[in-house]
Amino acid sequence: MVKTPDELELMRISGKLLASVFEMLDGQDLAGMSTMQVNDLVERFITIDLAARPASKGQYGFKYVLNCSINDVVCHGVPDPDTIIRDGDIINLDITLEKNGFIADSSKTYLVGNVAPAARRLAKVAQEAMWQGIRQVRPGAHLGDIGFAIERHAKKHGYTVVREYCGHGIGREMHEEPSVLNFGRPGTGVKLREGMTFTIEPMVNQGSRMVETEDDGWTVVTRDGKLSAQFEHTVAVTATGVEVLTLRADGS
């Protein structure tokens, strides 16, 4: 759970490489692409351009390098050659990368073309909620502080937070202890220590927080069919606060 300075340096390398994957995607016109085309594009970039490994591929039997969750898909959307990204969609791309034995994990909800104002607002609040959680990270704080800040921000804007899925410790393994819930009570849960590394990844729903898993065993959707948005960063607890290991050049 707690990383040494040398291990943290390796995690910084993985995080910086993963940030560059999203910077590459920022320059793509996703409208008209299939989710499988996006998957293949990312796999080539990670393996060839970055000489790294897409850590999601083969994890728990998953065959692809990313999750692509469109509109009412909350998380774990499966790439498919017949699923075309359309103008007006919102799509979360959740990507992991391993380099030198250490894994980084991040996601971003992309607004494709002419997105409706209500969908733009949802994505904006979801990203803000993630940052509200990140701002709680410092030695001596508690995981409950993070979850409380996330849910409070979402609720303030009329949204709900999914409770079945959450952030997690990360390092040599994609999923390590502790679980980082997106709800909680201040001053409760694991106390944070310098050197801890974990993800913060709120999933914010337009309607009810209730979700269900489709027949493929992976794809999680909102039960009411309303939109969901997610953002995620891998962070490290520092002596004075927090370092976002997957921070992109534009500060997002």
pLDDT (tens digit, 9 = 90+) per residue, 69-111?
Answer: 999 999 999 999 999 999 999 999 999 999 999 999 999 999 9
Q: Each residue of 87-105: b (16+ CB within 10 Å) or e?
A: eebbbbbbbbbbbeebbbb
Of the candidates 101, 172, 187, which has an alpha carbon nearest to the alpha carbon of residue 142? 187
Mean pLDDT of 159-172: 96
Q: State the residue for tokens 């927090």.
A: 242
Q: Give the pLDDT score at 251.
A: 83
Question: Is 90 exceeded by the pLDDT of residue 34?
Answer: yes
> Can you say whether the dihedral through the CA atoms of 11, 220, 207, 25 is positive or negative?
positive
For the chain, percent helix, then strand, then coil, each to nearest 5?
Answer: 30, 30, 45
Chain centre distance of CA 231 = 5
Task: Tell me: pLDDT of 2 over 80.
Answer: yes
Is residue 154 within 8 A of residue 192, CB to CB? The reply is no
Give the pLDDT score at 127. Answer: 98
Query: Kindly report the CA angle at 178 between 208 and 233, in degrees rounded to 5?
Result: 65
Residue predicted with more confidence, 249 or 206: 206
Alpha helices in 104-227 (DSSP H): 117-134, 143-156
As a whole number of angstroms, the distance between CA 53 and CA 36 comes to: 18
Q: Is 147 exposed, middle or buried (0-12, 13-18, 19+ CB in 10 A)?
A: buried
Q: Are 95 and 69 in contact (CB under 8 A)?
A: no
pTM: 0.95
In what side-by-side order are the strands of the sheet with 228-230? 160-161, 203-205, 228-230
pLDDT (average), residues 11-37: 97
Does the pLDDT value for residue 1 go beyond 80? Answer: no
